[in-house]
Amino acid sequence: MKIKTAVFPVAGFGTRMLPATKAIPKEMITLIDKPLIQYAVEEAIDSGIERIIFITGRTKKALEDHFDINVELNNTLLESGNLEMLEEIKKISEMVNLVYVRQKRMLGLGDAILCVKDIVNDDPFVVILPDDIILSDVPVVSQLMTQFEEYGFPIVSTMKVKEEDTSKYGIVKFKECINDRLSLLDSLVEKPKTNSPSTNAIIGRYVITSSVMKALEEINVGCNNELQLTDALNLVAARESVYGYEFEGKRFDCGTRSGLLEATINFAYKRSDLKEDLVKIIKELPNN
């Protein structure tokens, strides 16, 4: 079955990026000249997604405004003859079919995803956490959709992390290798404090099916007293099948200071209009 919907849970407080996130959503922090959310939306569109559902909260107005039409700005750009920027700004508001849902209380990623239950019905969809920004030749969402079309079960994207970092991630345990990058999972655990089953961590791209939605309704709150998507996937792995897909690309955790800095440098280095400046700036840094 072809996936047409992407769900973006963006209701979280973004406490790790305070004070930047006091008055603006974490997803509106800029990576060079675009907010994080726009990179993630472009990844979805480039993967063939036709509808995006944002799960938002009280402080997310700037995010809604970013994808809305700004008539005054358009007129100003038109009058000043800045037609190139006008086209770029218009494109943002015409990008894709957008739906907004409110998560009333921050009860975790699993609870956020349950908010779309009546909108997606029983159809599969992808989940994108926009603070995970990924540089890749093929968009990661598209990589996951290709695997889903063949295997038809929920998929989490994974990457190897350092042993000492496993307590920051959802971690998977493999059962059986299916191909170069895809494995059937034995189990999944959210932020293991000790005895992590592996160093393969879940990152913010998933394929979710109706069996995961059902499992989300059955589980109790877990780690951090939140309803955890990882726990629902673990239940589905025990009953049916869940796959782990080691994506192709480099991921940056833009929900942290050092991750955002690393992404900024890497993305600037890839841009022909900025590469030379970046190299010059770094060369001229004082030694101490």
- The interface mask with ligand UTP, positions 81-110, x = CB under 6 A, is ----------------------x--xxxx-
Q: In this complex, which beta carbon is closest to ligand UTP, that of residue 169 or of residue 245?
A: 169
Q: What is the number of other CB atoms lying within 10 angstroms of the CB of residue 179?
A: 10
Interface with ligand UTP by CB under 6 A: which range of 6-14, 32-40, 213-221, 237-245?
A: 6-14
* 221 or 274: CB nearest ligand UTP: 221
Is-contact 96 41, C-beta < 8 A? yes
Bridge partners, 185 (sequence order): 174
Is residue 129 at the binding interface for ligand UTP, with CB under 6 A as the rule? Answer: yes
Q: CB of 253: closest distance to ligand UTP in angstroms? A: 9
Q: Which of 3, 26, 52, 166 binds ligand UTP (CB under 6 A)?
A: 26
Q: Which is nearer to ligand UTP, 17 or 126 (CB)?
A: 17
C-alpha angle 259-261-267 in degrees, rounded to nearest 5: 100
Count of other CB atoms within 10 angstroms of residue 69: 12
| Contact call for residues 156 and 170 (beta carbons, < 8 A) | yes
| Residue from the set 13, 100, 151, 174 that interacts with ligand UTP by CB under 6 A | 13
Alpha-carbon span 236 to 246, nearest angstrom: 19
Task: Determine which residue in the list 3, 6, 7, 11 makes contact with ligand UTP, applying CB under 6 A.
Answer: 11
CB-nearer residue toward ligand UTP: 77 or 259 = 259
Residue 108 Cβ vs ligand UTP, minimum distance, rounded to whole Å: 5
**What does the alpha-carbon distance between residue 29 and residue 131 come to, in Å, rounded to a whole number?**
9
Looking at residues 247 to 266 of the shown chain, list those that interact with ligand UTP (rule: CB under 6 A): 255
For residues 54 and 66, give the distance between their C-alpha atoms in angstroms, rounded to a whole number.
Answer: 13
- Minimum CB distance to ligand UTP smaller for 59 or for 74: 59
Among 4, 16, 51, 191, binds ligand UTP (CB under 6 A): 16
Distance (Å, rounded) from C-alpha 278 to C-alpha 262? 13
Q: Which one, 59 or 136, has the nearer CB to ligand UTP? A: 59
**Strand 97-102 and strand 30-31: pairing?**
unpaired
Q: Which one of residues 44, 55, 189, 207 is an interface residue with ligand UTP (CB under 6 A)?
A: 55
User: Pick from 5, 12, 44, 54: which binds ligand UTP (CB under 6 A)?
Assistant: 12
15 binds ligand UTP (CB under 6 A): yes
Tell me the C-alpha distance between 12 and 56, whole Å.
8
Residue 36 or 182: the one with the smaller Cβ distance to ligand UTP is: 36
Burial 191-225 (b: 16+ CB within 10 A, else e): beeeebebbbbbbbbbbbbebbbebbeebeebeee
Interface residue with ligand UTP among 7, 10, 155, 233 (CB under 6 A) is 10
Tell me which residue of 253, 262, 3, 20 sits closest to 129, measured CA to CA.
Answer: 253
Which residues of this protein are in contact with ligand UTP, per CB under 6 A?
Answer: 9-17, 26, 55, 103, 106-109, 111-112, 129, 131, 255
